[in-house]
Structure 1
Amino acid sequence: MTTRDQAIDYLQLIDGELLPARNGEWIDSVNPASGQVWARIPAGTADDIDDAVRAAQGALGPWRSLPAAARADALRAWAATVRDNLDTLWRLDATDNGRARREAEPAIAGAAAQIDFHAGLAETITGDTVLVSETATTYSIREPYGVVGLIIPWNAPLAMFLAKVSAAIAGGNTIVVKPPERASVSVLAAAQLLDKAGIPHGVVNVVTGDGATAGEALVKHPDVRKISFTGSTATGRRITENSVCNVKALALELGGKSPNIVFADADLDLAADTVAAGIYTASAGQACIAGSRILIQREVFDEFVERLRARASAMILGDPLESGTDMGPLAFHGQYQKVREYLQSGREDGATVAFGGRCGSALFPAESPFAAGYFVEPTLFVTDDPHLRVCREEIFGPVAVALPFEDEDEAVRLANDSGYGLAAGVWTQNLTRGHRLTRRLEAGTVWVNTYRRLHWALPFGGQKESGNGISNGPGTLDEWLEHKSVWIEHG
């Protein structure tokens, strides 16, 4: 990397080389806390994607032929280098997308542990012998897809890069990664650690650029066998359309509008703490599983809203690099503008602002270094109308909406009345009810008396328009392996 005009240039990784874009063009990376350009990334195009795919093809044969134990050793070495560079990596991640240290640092440490988990899974890839004929030997094997493409989101780019890439290459695939153009720096820095870990050149390639050029080129490339995408449902639909030309396999982790359901018998203090964290300090609401619909039993509705107000008012907004910061800024100006538009829409549609609603310079004195940052304070709308835009659309910011319900049946109806089905939370001291609702709620993950708890050993995925496929859990590698049946006739 080189410094030019106080901005640092980070380079793509293709076949082990650090390279600018072929066209020589760059994309500015803006620190969302200050609004200032602090780095530049290459503006890669279809030419760069093609170079990366060719590199991945060249590395595929040797990598997939390695004994599983050798791939596992390389992955463990990569996890160790991530841990050795943890302080640098989380700071780059937080500077690039505004994620507060309290989330960025443990997320990356957890992703390093997830690499170790995937290394262990690499050594468990097996097939089955099946007796179907007296005159034949028949069995199944699992093989890598080949060259796969990974498009990762801007809200947690580095943690997603480490987790997804390690799973894909544990299965013997080689990979081309297109990071988010708004937050690529930490991914480019982490990619440089692959060589130190002894992972061969070309196994992992990283091309930066915007979605309409580099991203679309990756999806349409005829030699890419599978695309894994994490991001919005709208973009997931476009990727699906673009993949039809050569019938690619797809794994899509998409959006959410997740309900957090609070019954009157819940531990309201615990619920208020966790519900507030699940939408506000959860990456400033920029999380697919953010609990953005808060359904509250009517008899405790006003009381619980006041508890949420107290938690929100105590939250510290500011420098994401400081350990005492609860909420950093939104990741980039476009997202900041989108959230502001939803704040206006909620008011115009008749929802009441219970607290919050201020943005940007209204939150800091003019002399503050954060006065030009993309900050939105914790905000709660209150309404009885579940059909408002703020109730149905994914805002992806620290903005929640609270709706009352009378009984369990109404709570379930409201919770399931969404095109999304990613996650849900239930707060009750009646564990019979808790168990019952886990079956009734249309969501890939249901938490009872907790929220936003994830672990690499437990499957994660969505229902309905929240996507398909599973990440995490002992079946993680199934997403990166194809099944082949073998029939040997011997008479």
Structure 2
Amino acid sequence: MTDLPMYRNVIDGKLQAPASGKYLDSINPATGEVWARVPASDRTDVEAAVDAARKAFPAWSALPAAGRAHYLRQVGDIFRKHSDELTRLELMGIGCQARKSNVPTPAGGLSFLWDRAAGLTLDAVTGRSVPLDANTMGITRREPYGVVAAIVPYNSPQGMASSKASLAIAAGNTVVLKPPEQASPAILRFGELLAEILPPGVVNMVSGLGADVGDPLVRHPDVRKITMTGSPDTARMIQRAAADNLTSCIFELGGKSPNIVFADADLDRAAPGVTTQAIYTTNAGQACVGGSRILIQRPILDEMLGRMEAIAKQIRIGDPFDPETTMGPLISQPQFDKVTGYIEIGKQEAQLVFGGRYGPELVPSRPGGFWVEPTLFMTTNNALRICQEEIFGPVAAVIPFDTEEEAIAIANDSRFGLASGLWTRDLARVNRFIRDIRSGNVWVNTYLQTRYELPFGGIKDSGYGHDDIMEFTVEKTAVIAT
């Protein structure tokens, strides 16, 4: 254990060990072995980080937009210069397959987020003018909140950290970021590199368990904005904790997204769109946006099932560093237990179409990894647990339907409302579904096509708000009489 890499928090531009002296083990999900140690921080570290961010805020927010943009572009260079290292750390920490890594090699993927934020800095300070009468003018100006708390999930740590932090500081805020305890090393290393570029205190990183770090962070009276990507249950706890200070929140939460295939669809596109791209190879199904309820019109049901099974058979599960691997392991033992528990529930309440196996026999060369194969069930009952609860693994359910009305009713019969997919050639149907489906995102004849120029957020238990530069500012009104 003494030879393991030891990562530290980043507070006020310095690398700092946790005040308690305690550390957490970081587990390689492909082997089940400890490969690094990260700070088990507590309230003391949170207080220091928030204090550093609070003190850095006046100077950072006073910096002209062009000055902030200059810093942001330098941060983008981190991913161009250190892409190989950050890719390796991400793969070691979360086990996603190399070809789907959130830090692609060669560099360019996440650098774009920081370059984009640099280009948006002027938007964050642009106000409006409204003539009220001949002698009176109303004006608005946009101002940063102050200290922003950013809480990042394990399934896309560097991507989420970059998205949240870049927009927050572009708007003139300062940030205290909590990495996921399951996958902190890549973000903490990124924080080390950030500290070489940004002024002290602008971005601080404190790792640890949610109860020890997240809770005091969201309760802190100096935190004026919270952005969190995670589960609805966590969001509810944060919202209750933030209520005392009336802290503004952004929540991007879970999903149980319908992916609907009509008989007139192009099945050559639809079959991979509801199988590989949408569910299985996106972090082994650990994606809130995955279309895990697949609605198929009955005339094409058998053909679609055959096509989906053929695609699933081509998926290669294994070592994330193997270029032939197309699906890696789940993140941890608790997540493995949760997902495999749902598989056993599914075997009892629905028809198993394919898959259903899990454990070391799937990848004998890595017996300690958290391996689950792509699994598909079929049922006519959307009320089943496997249809209503977020599994967060490579497990989906097919639900046959006959009519448009039935498809809409099934699609909307969920407490979630993050995303939906529709596969059809009927333009009138497309317009009806975009209107009637209750979700924050609708993809038509594609899935998981996202662009940062477009908002990404949910409704119902999938949250509210989205990480946009305007969300990190407040609008002030002034009226001037002459």
TM-score, structure 2 as length reference: 0.97
The CA distance in 2 between the partners of 1:433 and 1:129, in whole Å, is 42
Matches within 5 A, 1:92-111: 92-104=89-101, 105-106=103-104, 109-111=108-110
- Where 1:9 maps in the other structure, the secondary structure is coil
The CA distance in 2 between the partners of 1:5 and 1:153, in whole Å, is 28
- Where 1:24 maps in the other structure, the secondary structure is coil
The CA distance in 2 between the partners of 1:404 and 1:223, in whole Å, is 51
- Where 1:385 maps in the other structure, the secondary structure is coil
Matches within 5 A, 1:147-186: 147-186=147-186
Contact 2:117 2:170 in 1 (8 A): yes
What is the CA-CA distance between 1:134 and the residue it aligns to? 4.2
Contact 1:6 1:38 in 2 (8 A): no
The CA distance in 2 between the partners of 1:83 and 1:275, in whole Å, is 33
Match of 2:428 in 1: 432
Please state if 1:274 is matched with 2:273: yes
- Percent of aligned pairs with the same amino acid: 47
Contact 1:147 1:174 in 2 (8 A): yes
- Where 2:139 maps in the other structure, the secondary structure is strand
Please state if 1:373 is matched with 2:369: yes
Match of 1:418 among 414, 418, 436: 414
Matches within 5 A, 1:299-448: 299-348=299-348, 350-365=349-364, 368=365, 370-448=366-444
Deviation readout 1:115-169 (Å, 9 max, x if unpaired): 1111111023311112224444431110000011011101101110011100000
Please state if 1:483 is matched with 2:475: yes
What is the CA-CA distance between 1:175 and the residue it aligns to? 0.6
What is the CA-CA distance between 1:110 and the residue it aligns to? 2.6
Please state if 1:75 is matched with 2:82: no
Matches within 5 A, 1:466-477: 466-471=462-467, 476-477=468-469
The CA distance in 2 between the partners of 1:6 and 1:360, in whole Å, is 29
Matches within 5 A, 1:38-57: 38-57=35-54
What is the CA-CA distance between 1:94 and the residue it aligns to? 1.2
Matches within 5 A, 1:131-142: 131-142=131-142
The CA distance in 1 between the partners of 2:449 and 2:236, in whole Å, is 28
Deviation readout 1:190-246 (Å, 9 max, x if unpaired): 1122133x3101000000000011000101011101111100111111111111111
Match of 1:201 in 2: 200
What is the CA-CA distance between 1:396 and the residue it aligns to? 0.2
Contact 2:83 2:104 in 1 (8 A): no
| Unmatched segments (≥5 aa) in structure 2 | none
Comparing 134-143 with 373-382, greater Cα deviation is found at 134-143
Contact 1:68 1:123 in 2 (8 A): yes
Contact 2:363 2:371 in 1 (8 A): no
Match of 1:283 in 2: 283
Match of 2:146 in 1: 146
The CA distance in 1 between the partners of 2:81 and 2:116, in whole Å, is 18
Match of 2:257 in 1: 258
Comparing 384-393 with 455-464, greater Cα deviation is found at 455-464
Match of 1:35 in 2: 32
Please state if 1:61 is matched with 2:51: no
Deviation readout 1:392-413 (Å, 9 max, x if unpaired): 0000000000010001111111
- Where 2:251 maps in the other structure, the secondary structure is strand
The CA distance in 1 between the partners of 2:3 and 2:379, in whole Å, is 48
Q: Which amino acid aligns with 1:112?
A: S
Q: Which amino acid aligns with 2:122?
A: E
The CA distance in 1 between the partners of 2:141 and 2:51, in whole Å, is 26
The CA distance in 2 between the partners of 1:281 and 1:489, in whole Å, is 61
Q: 1:322 to 1:364 in 2, by over 3 A?
A: closer
Q: Which amino acid aligns with 2:175?
A: I
The CA distance in 1 between the partners of 2:401 and 2:316, in whole Å, is 31
Deviation readout 1:283-336 (Å, 9 max, x if unpaired): 111001001000000111122111111111110001112222110000111111
Matches within 5 A, 1:220-259: 220-259=219-258
- Where 1:131 maps in the other structure, the secondary structure is strand
What is the CA-CA distance between 1:435 and the residue it aligns to? 2.7
Deviation readout 1:243-289 (Å, 9 max, x if unpaired): 11111001000100001101111111221112112100011110010
The CA distance in 1 between the partners of 2:114 and 2:201, in whole Å, is 19
| Unmatched segments (≥5 aa) in structure 1 | none
What is the CA-CA distance between 1:112 and the residue it aligns to? 1.5
After the TM superposition, which segments of 4 or more aligned residues of structure 1 sit over 4 Å from their partners? none
- Where 1:312 maps in the other structure, the secondary structure is helix
